[in-house]
Amino acid sequence: MKKRFLLCLLLSFSLQTFAQRKVQLVILFDTSNSMDGLLNQAKARIWAIVNEASTLTYQGAPVTLEIAMYDYGNSTISATQNYIRKQLDFSTDLDLVSEKLFGLRTSGGEEYCPAVIVASLKQLNWSNSPQDLKLIYIAGNESFKQGSVSTAVACELAAEKHVLVSTIFCGDRMQGINLGWKEGAECAKGDFFNINSDAAIKQIETPFDDQIIEQNRLLNNTYIGYGSVAIESKSKQLSQDANAWGISKSVETERYLVKSKSSYKNEKWDIVDANLADSTKIALLKEEELPAEMKGMSVDQRQAFVKQKTEERSAIQKEMARLETARSKYIEAENAKTTQAKPDDFGTAVATSLRNNAKTLGFD
């Protein structure tokens, strides 16, 4: 009995020690009439933010990135719901995150900041581990203290769940402080930023962007869809490539670099990712679930085909990592040419806060 107890204790300790750490990131967007600039900045910065999160590790091991999204203050949302709408539960599907963001539209309404914070804290499946990084970012431009839910109630619930709430006021810093945005961040142990949400994002194109874009074309050819959602999911992947392309070459490149990392996972429809997640998956697929390229193959032939595609993808990812290093050095050198302090935008605010809070919790 004693030996069994010790074995269970050791197993429990081992699971806690080696369990993959999570970064849970929630963004609450004010989508009232005046917030088109905020959404434009978010679309221009979303892949830079995800890229920042994707570089995090914990004791050398990769982390799981989960993103959720709400919008609030939109007149198309019922007043009985406090003008709050959940766009996305915690998800590792980064194409879906992009789809939801690019689908946001503004329309006048009432902005109840504490209420949307409380909704996200109550409705989402937050991790219970104190070693996971749990962050909420709320952006807007009206008084933080509107609505029937108080700032104190939102902060108390955030503290209970060990969630840090950072606020991003779209406007003058002192105005944001007077309207309660700094207080909202401080009582929830988060960071306070103010941004000019109507400012255009400075984009730096590099000599490596076209090479990364070409590598993405090759990368897409290694995504082989299976099952009933294959066509729809592949189409979504390409649509979000197009959305990034529509913003700028820099944003397009940032997206493709995210796609080359382990945080970009599509095991629900891509045969390569499915095999990496569960090596028994290939043999269990029914003939009608197989992609056209694999129909009629024996189990051995299936495994050989997927192995080839996996190796192709790995080689492309390594090349993209090399190009990313060179691109980052180029951008760093360009930024160093000016000593003038750059004001925060939506992306730099979130990325800076995420990086600093990750270090505090021991993430690399």
Model confidence pLDDT, tens digit, residues 201-212 = 888 999 999 999
Q: Work out the percent of the chain whose per-residue pLDDT is above 70.
A: 95
Q: What's the pLDDT band for 4 if we cut at 50, 70, 90?
A: low
Instruction: Give me the pLDDT at residue 340, please.
Output: 77
Does the pLDDT of residue 80 top 90, yes or no? no
Residues 166/190, Cβ–Cβ less than 8 Å? yes
| CATH level 2 (architecture), domain 23-202+343-360 | 3-Layer(aba) Sandwich (3.40)
Q: What's the pLDDT band for 60 if we cut at 50, 70, 90?
A: confident
Q: What single DSSP character describes residue 200?
A: P
Residue with tokens 């009432």: 110
Interatomic CA distance for residues 314 and 332, integer angstroms = 27
For the residues 2-16, what does the mean pLDDT come to? 43
| 79-83, 119-123, 346-350 — most confident range | 119-123
Does the pLDDT of residue 17 top 80, yes or no? no
Instruction: Give me the pLDDT at residue 201, please.
Output: 87
Residues 13/220, Cβ–Cβ less than 8 Å? no
Instruction: Give me the pLDDT at residue 55, please.
Output: 87
Does the pLDDT of residue 11 top 50, yes or no? no
Q: Locate 351 and state its tokens.
A: 């990325």
Does the pLDDT of residue 1 top 80, yes or no? no
Q: Provide the residue type at 284 as one letter.
A: L
pTM for the full predicted model: 0.90
| 45-49, 212-216, 349-353 — most confident range | 212-216
Does the pLDDT of residue 67 top 90, yes or no? yes
Query: Could you tell me if residue 254 is left (phi over 0), alpha (psi between -120 and 50 degrees) or otherwise beta?
Result: alpha
DSSP secondary structure string, 225-288? B-STTHHHHHHHHHHHHHHHHHH-HHHHHHHHHHHTSTT---TTTBHHHHHHH-TTHHHH--GG
Instruction: Give me the pLDDT at residue 109, please.
Output: 82
Interval 304-323: pLDDT, tens: 999 999 999 999 999 999 99
Q: What's the pLDDT band for 7 if we cut at 50, 70, 90?
A: very low
Of the two residues 34 and 251, the one the predictor is more confident about is 251
Residue with tokens 């709050």: 84
Does the pLDDT of residue 339 top 80, yes or no? no
Of the two residues 158 and 80, the one the predictor is more confident about is 158
Of the two residues 258 and 12, the one the predictor is more confident about is 258
Interval 265-286: pLDDT, tens: 999 999 999 999 999 999 999 9
Q: Locate 5 and state its tokens.
A: 């107890």
Average pLDDT, the chain: 92
Instruction: Give me the pLDDT at residue 2, please.
Output: 46
Phi first, then psi: give them for residue 101, nearest 5 degrees: -65, -45
Instruction: Give me the pLDDT at residue 341, please.
Output: 74
Instruction: Give me the pLDDT at residue 327, please.
Output: 97
Q: What's the pLDDT band for 343 if we cut at 50, 70, 90?
A: confident
User: Nearest Cα to 140, choosing from 178, 112, 107, 99?
Assistant: 112
Instruction: Give me the pLDDT at residue 104, please.
Output: 96
Domain positions in the chain are 23-202+343-360, 209-336
Residues 168/58, Cβ–Cβ less than 8 Å? no
Instruction: Give me the pLDDT at residue 64, please.
Output: 93
Does the pLDDT of residue 18 top 70, yes or no? no
